[in-house]
C-alpha cells in the first residue's frame, strides 16, 4: 500500500515549540476550574423536578408570610361563629363565578321557599309584605345562586317537587335576633342613613303562624312549615312555590298597623332596657366590622379565616421542622464526628447508647412529653423536645460513616504529619468533605418532621388549636368528621401538606445528587 507523500512531508516551519505547562486548545473547548458548590448548583438546576419543587416551596413560604399582609382586614384572632364552616367567598371573584360562597344543595318545596324568602324580606325595607318572588330573586341578598328544573315525584294522588341548585352559605344565614343597647340602636340608624344599607327589619309576631320563634327568617305566615295566606273566611290556605308567589307577612305591628322594629327586654326604662331587634346579618356584619364578607379560603369550624389559619399552620410547621433540623444537625454532627474520628471505645460505647435510644417509639415519647411538660412549658416546646431527644441519632450515624470514609485519606495523613491538631483535622479537612451529604440529610428531615407534627396534632396528642396558633394537622382533625358536607375544610390543608411533603422530598433528592462527589464534573 503506497502512502501519499503530500501527507508525509511536513515542512519543519510548521512545527512550534511550546513551554512546559502551556495549553493549546480552541477557546470554545477550554475548561475552567469551578468550585464544589458551583458544580453542585449546575447539576441541581438540571434536575427539573427539584427546581420545580424548590419553586413550590418558595411559593408556599411566601403565601404563609404575605397572605396575612394582603388580608389585613382580618387578623389571626378574628372570629365570627355565625360564619363558621362557610365556603370560599370574595366580593370581586364571585362576579366571575369563583369563590361565590356557594355549595350545591337539594331543596324540597318548604326549604326552597324559606331560602328565597330571605331575598324577598331583604327587599321589603318598609315592612309592607308585598314583595313578589321575582323581586326577591333579583335581590343582591338572595342566597339562591342557581336553581335547576324541578323534579316531579308522585306519591299516590299527591305530587311533590324537588329542586337542585346552588346557594350562598353566607346569605343563607339571613336574619338574626340581637339584643342591643339604645345607643347602638341609634348608631345603626345613623349608619343606615350614611351607607344606604338596611340593617334593621321588622320584628316577627310570636303566634300560631310562626313556625319557630327563635328563627328570624320565618317572617311569613306558615303552618307545618308551609307558607299560607288567610282568606276572607279566616282559613289558612297553603301557598305553593311558583311564579308570582307573594308571601303574607307575619310582622309585629302597632295599633295603627305600622311594623315594629324593636321591643324592650330585660326590664328598665326606654333609656336603660335592652332593645330586641331583627337584623339582616350580612349588613350587620358590615356595620360591626367596617368591611364586607371576604374569606378567600372560607372559614374553619370555629369561624376563623381559613386562609389565615393555613398561613399560620404553614409557618408553625416550617419553623418547627427547620428548628429541629438545625438542632439535629448540630448535635448529630458533634457526636458523629467524635465517634467517627476517634473510634475505638468511644465509638462502641456511644453506638450502643444510640441503638437503645433509637428503639424508643417516637409517638410514645411525644405523648409522654405532652402529658408531663405541656402544661409547664407549653405544647410547642414539649413537641420540640420530643423531636430533639432522638432525632439527631440518624444524623450522628451519617456523620460517623463519613468520618470513617475520609479520616484515613492521604491528605488527612499529610495534614497530621505537618502538625495539624485533631480539631483542625475534624472541622477544616474532614467535615467540609462530608457537608454535602449532611446537608441533604437535614433537608430530608424537614418533610419527616412536618408529617410527624401533623400526625400528632391530627390525633389530638398535641393540642395546637388556640385562637392565635394552629397547625395543619389540627385543621385536618377538625374537618375529619364533617368534610363530606364542608369539603373545603379538608381540601386546602391536605393540598398544603401534600405540596410540602412532595416538594421537600424532591428538593432533598436533588440536593443529594447535586452534592454527590462521585458525580462531580459529570455531564447529564
- The CATH number assigned to the domain holding 379 equals 1.10.3720.10
Count of residues making up the chain: 524
pLDDT band, very low/low/confident/very high, at 403 (cuts 50, 70, 90): confident
Give the end of a domain, one of 262, 289, 316. Answer: 289
Same domain, 59 and 154: no
Determine, yes or no, domain membership for 2.
Answer: no
Determine, yes or no, domain membership for 27.
Answer: no
End-to-end CA distance of the chain, in Å? 44
Same domain, 263 and 344: no
Same domain, 337 and 373: yes
Same domain, 189 and 256: yes
pLDDT of residue 521: 52
Domain count, the chain: 2
pLDDT of residue 314: 93
pLDDT of residue 27: 47
Determine, yes or no, domain membership for 82.
Answer: no
Domain, as residue range, for 191: 91-289
pLDDT band, very low/low/confident/very high, at 17 (cuts 50, 70, 90): low
Determine, yes or no, domain membership for 29.
Answer: no
- The stretch 331-351 carries a mean pLDDT of 88
Determine, yes or no, domain membership for 77.
Answer: no
pLDDT of residue 26: 47
Q: Check residues 218 and 358 and name the one with the higher pLDDT.
A: 218
Same domain, 145 and 252: yes
Same domain, 340 and 266: no
Same domain, 279 and 315: no
Backbone angles phi, psi at 251, to 5 degrees: -70, 150
Q: Assess whether pLDDT exceeds 50 at residue 376.
A: yes
Contact predicate 520/36, CB 8 Å: yes
Number of H helices, E strands in the chain: 17, 11
- The stretch 362-373 carries a mean pLDDT of 87
Rounded CA-CA distance 512/518 in Å is 11
- The stretch 417-434 carries a mean pLDDT of 82
pLDDT band, very low/low/confident/very high, at 29 (cuts 50, 70, 90): very low
**pLDDT tens string 460-475:** 888 887 777 788 999 9
pLDDT band, very low/low/confident/very high, at 33 (cuts 50, 70, 90): low
Q: Assess whether pLDDT exceeds 90 at residue 119.
A: yes
Give the end of a domain, one of 289, 321, 338. Answer: 289
Q: Assess whether pLDDT exceeds 80 at residue 229.
A: yes
Q: How many angstroms separate the Cα of 66 from the Cα of each of 457, 465, 470?
A: 25, 22, 18
Give the end of a domain, one of 289, 314, 347. Answer: 289
**pLDDT tens string 486-501:** 999 999 999 999 999 9
pLDDT band, very low/low/confident/very high, at 12 (cuts 50, 70, 90): low
pLDDT of residue 223: 87
For residue 450, is it left (φ>0), alpha (ψ between -120 and 50) or beta? alpha
Q: Which of 129-138, 188-197, 462-471 has the lowest mean pLDDT?
A: 462-471
pLDDT of residue 52: 94
pLDDT band, very low/low/confident/very high, at 516 (cuts 50, 70, 90): low
Contact predicate 104/166, CB 8 Å: yes
Same domain, 393 and 249: no
- The stretch 374-395 carries a mean pLDDT of 87
Compute the CA torsion angle 467, 473, 475, 481 (nearest 10 deg): -130
Please give the mean pLDDT across all residues of the chain. Answer: 86
- DSSP notation for 87-130: PPB-TTGGGGTSSBSEEEEEEEHHHHHHHHHHHHHHH-TT----
Q: Assess whether pLDDT exceeds 90 at residue 130.
A: no
Same domain, 162 and 215: yes
pLDDT of residue 1: 46
**pLDDT tens string 428-441:** 888 877 777 788 78
**pLDDT tens string 80-103:** 999 999 999 998 898 888 899 999
Same domain, 439 and 327: yes
**pLDDT tens string 237-259:** 888 898 889 999 999 999 898 99
Same domain, 326 and 232: no
Q: Assess whether pLDDT exceeds 80 at residue 269.
A: no
Same domain, 425 and 510: yes
Q: Assess whether pLDDT exceeds 60 at residue 20.
A: no
Determine, yes or no, domain membership for 43.
Answer: no
pLDDT of residue 34: 66
Contact predicate 295/210, CB 8 Å: no
Determine, yes or no, domain membership for 38.
Answer: no
pLDDT of residue 154: 78
Determine, yes or no, domain membership for 26.
Answer: no
State whether residue 297 is helix, strand or coil.
coil
Amino acid at each position: 500500500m503506497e502512502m501519499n507523500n503530500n501527507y508525509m512531508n511536513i515542512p519543519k516551519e510548521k512545527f512550534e515549540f511550546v513551554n512546559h505547562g502551556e495549553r493549546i486548545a480552541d477557546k470554545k473547548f477550554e475548561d475552567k476550574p469551578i468550585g464544589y458548590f458551583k458544580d453542585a448548583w449546575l447539576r441541581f438546576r438540571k434536575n427539573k423536578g427539584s427546581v420545580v419543587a424548590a419553586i413550590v416551596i418558595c411559593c408556599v413560604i411566601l403565601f404563609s408570610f404575605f397572605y396575612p399582609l394582603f388580608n389585613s382586614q382580618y387578623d389571626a384572632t378574628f372570629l365570627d361563629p355565625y360564619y363558621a364552616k362557610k365556603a370560599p367567598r370574595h366580593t370581586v371573584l364571585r362576579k366571575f363565578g369563583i369563590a361565590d360562597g356557594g355549595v350545591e344543595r337539594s331543596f324540597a318545596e318548604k326549604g326552597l321557599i324559606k331560602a328565597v324568602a330571605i331575598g324577598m324580606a331583604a327587599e321589603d325595607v318598609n315592612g309592607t309584605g308585598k314583595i313578589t318572588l321575582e323581586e326577591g330573586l333579583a335581590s343582591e341578598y338572595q342566597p339562591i345562586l342557581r336553581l335547576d328544573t324541578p323534579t316531579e315525584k308522585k306519591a299516590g294522588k299527591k305530587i311533590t317537587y324537588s329542586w337542585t341548585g346552588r346557594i350562598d352559605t353566607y346569605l343563607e344565614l339571613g336574619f338574626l335576633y340581637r339584643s342591643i343597647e339604645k345607643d347602638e340602636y341609634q348608631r345603626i340608624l345613623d349608619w343606615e342613613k350614611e351607607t344606604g344599607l338596611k340593617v334593621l327589619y321588622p320584628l316577627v309576631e310570636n303566634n300560631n303562624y310562626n313556625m319557630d320563634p327563635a328563627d328570624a327568617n320565618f317572617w311569613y305566615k306558615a303552618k307545618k312549615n308551609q307558607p299560607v295566606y288567610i282568606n276572607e273566611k279566616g282559613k289558612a290556605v297553603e301557598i305553593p312555590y311558583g311564579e308570582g308567589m307573594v308571601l303574607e307577612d307575619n310582622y309585629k305591628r302597632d295599633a295603627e298597623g305600622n311594623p315594629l322594629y324593636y321591643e324592650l327586654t330585660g326590664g328598665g326604662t326606654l333609656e336603660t332596657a335592652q332593645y330586641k331587634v331583627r337584623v339582616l346579618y350580612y349588613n350587620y356584619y358590615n356595620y360591626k366590622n367596617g368591611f364586607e364578607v371576604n374569606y378567600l379560603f372560607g372559614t374553619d369550624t370555629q369561624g376563623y379565616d381559613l386562609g389565615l389559619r393555613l398561613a399560620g399552620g404553614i409557618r408553625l410547621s416550617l419553623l418547627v421542622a427547620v428548628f429541629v433540623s438545625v438542632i439535629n444537625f448540630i448535635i448529630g454532627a458533634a457526636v458523629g464526628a467524635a465517634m467517627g474520628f476517634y473510634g475505638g471505645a468511644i465509638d462502641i460505647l456511644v453506638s450502643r447508647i444510640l441503638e437503645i435510644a433509637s428503639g424508643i417509639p417516637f409517638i410514645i415519647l411525644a405523648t409522654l412529653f405532652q402529658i408531663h411538660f405541656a402544661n409547664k412549658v407549653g405544647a410547642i416546646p414539649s413537641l420540640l423536645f420530643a423531636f430533639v431527644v432522638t432525632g439527631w441519632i440518624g444524623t450522628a450515624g451519617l456523620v460517623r460513616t463519613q468520618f470513617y470514609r475520609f479520616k484515613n485519606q492521604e491528605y488527612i495523613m499529610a495534614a497530621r504529619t505537618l502538625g495539624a491538631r485533631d480539631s483542625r483535622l475534624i472541622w477544616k479537612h474532614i467535615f467540609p468533605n462530608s457537608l454535602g451529604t449532611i446537608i441533604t440529610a437535614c433537608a430530608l428531615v424537614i418533610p419527616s418532621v412536618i408529617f410527624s407534627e401533623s400526625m400528632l396534632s391530627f390525633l389530638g396528642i398535641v393540642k395546637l388549636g388556640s385562637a392565635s396558633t394552629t397547625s395543619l394537622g389540627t385543621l385536618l382533625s377538625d374537618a375529619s368528621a364533617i368534610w363530606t358536607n364542608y369539603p373545603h375544610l379538608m381540601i386546602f390543608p391536605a393540598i398544603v401538606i401534600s405540596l410540602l411533603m412532595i416538594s421537600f422530598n424532591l428538593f432533598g433528592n436533588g440536593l443529594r445528587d447535586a452534592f454527590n462527589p462521585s458525580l462531580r464534573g459529570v455531564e447529564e
